Amino acid sequence: MSSLLRSSIATRSCRTSSNALCLRRSTLLLERSTRRRHSPSALPPPISFAFDIDGVLIRGEEPIPAARKALSILDGDNEWGMKIPYILLTNGGGVGEEERCRRLSKQLGVQIPVDRYIQAHTIIRSIASKYADHPVLVLGGRNDVLRKVAENYGFKHVYNSLDVLAWNPSVWPFHDLTPEEKASIKGADFSKLKIAGIFVFHDPRNWALDVQVMCDVILSGGTIGAGHATSSSPVDVVFCNPDLIWRSDFPVPRFGQGAFRDAFQAVYKSMTGMTCNYTQYGKPTEATYTFAEAALKDLLLARHESRQPSVYMVGDNPESDIAGANAAGWKSILVHTGVYDPRQGQPKHVPNHQAKDVAEAVQWALGQEMRGQRA
């Protein structure tokens, strides 16, 4: 507040009363509120959050009841009346970031801006330029939804396993394309294309077809049907989510993209005796946590927040959320609303704290930082 504004408030309040005492009192009042405004406890502690989604904020399509409370605390419903920075960091995906934020905002009843949302394949945007002019295979998700997402990241020649099956149904004779799938096809002659990279963005809908097509592409050096690899440059293989299991609205965790990767590797090993080399993104990888930290920093910069905040990761999966946060030097909180069940005993990756749900996690973290601030 400018000194000009400060002195005008003081003068204005004294016009009504008769002497120096009144002036002194209002100046004192002003000083106290200024001291309070600039004293540490007037500002929220330097804290920020990264929230996992499945098993923390939602299960399947259903919001977890504590989610709205947790996010409203951070959106200003707190003793400081101030917004506390947070991002959503999920191994989920399957649609574009904008589309997912639209859906989440509706499910959670809280506006989720896209610059606060990171999903499993968002990081691929940072490497797309390397493959921009080469044919690539993008797997997972429904029909060709992820083709458009990949084109949005900068890939120009994006194909999927349904395109391959439409080109030659004998690639996998056990699936007839549905009318919806047929409508999503991009025609190509794969005997004339050299696929440079395979990107598994999200959980494949047809594991068998995708395992077959991945092996065909890799073992032929990129040209399906060309028989065993002749070319020197192997096909790059990238997986975006290592989760073996995740928590949906089914009472017991479901297989995730990591289970698909292991199934593919098992078949590939039976074929070649070897494991297929690949790049892994998604939590707990260092690449994804570094990417998320940069996004948090941008958020703080945009808020002119110069203090170095503690980052609290709130997650339901010890293997991805807690392992990654611990390795990144963040604080980690494991909630009991998702994959991890406390009856299983101590988790393999030990969090800084366990909480029954995300609201309790937020309150515990704020309490920690406030105590730290007072000390």
The candidate with the shortest Cα–Cα distance to 202, out of 283, 144, 116, 138, is 138
How many CB atoms are closer than 10 A to CB 131?
23
How many CB atoms are closer than 10 A to CB 25?
14
CB of 54 to ligand G3P, least distance (A): 3
| 318-321 long-range Cβ contacts below 8 angstroms, 24+ apart | 318/347, 318/348, 318/349, 318/351, 319/242, 319/243, 319/244, 319/284, 319/348, 319/349, 320/52, 320/91, 320/242, 320/243, 320/282, 320/283, 320/284, 321/52, 321/283, 321/284
Interaction partner, residue 256 (ligand G3P, Mg ion, none; CB < 5-8 Å by kind): ligand G3P
DSSP 64: P
Q: Which is nearer to Mg ion, 197 or 315 (CB)?
A: 315
x-marked contacts with Mg ion along 46-75 as a string, rule CB under 5 A: ------x-xx--------------------
Residues of span 198-237 touching ligand G3P by CB under 6 A? 203
Q: Do 101 and 112 contact (CB within 8 A), yes or no?
A: yes
Structure tokens at 202: 């999200």
Q: How many residues bind ligand G3P (CB under 6 A)?
A: 13
Residues of span 299-318 touching Mg ion by CB under 5 A? 316-317
Residues of span 231-290 touching ligand G3P by CB under 6 A? 241, 243, 246, 256
Q: How many residues bind Mg ion (CB under 5 A)?
A: 5
Q: Which is nearer to ligand G3P, 188 or 295 (CB)?
A: 295
CB of 284 to Mg ion, least distance (A): 12
Q: Which is nearer to ligand G3P, 190 or 340 (CB)?
A: 340
Contact between 203 and Mg ion (CB under 5 A)? no
Structure tokens at 170: 């004998």
Q: Which is nearer to ligand G3P, 100 or 331 (CB)?
A: 100
CB of 302 to ligand G3P, least distance (A): 24
Contact between 144 and Mg ion (CB under 5 A)? no
Q: Do 92 and 118 contact (CB within 8 A), yes or no?
A: no
SS3 content of the chain, % helix, strand, coil (to 5): 45, 15, 40
DSSP 262: H
Q: Which is nearer to ligand G3P, 91 or 354 (CB)?
A: 91
Residues of span 37-76 touching ligand G3P by CB under 6 A? 52-55
> How many residues comprise the chain?
375
CB of 55 to Mg ion, least distance (A): 4
Residues making contact with ligand G3P (CB under 6 A): 52-55, 90-92, 203, 241, 243, 246, 256, 317
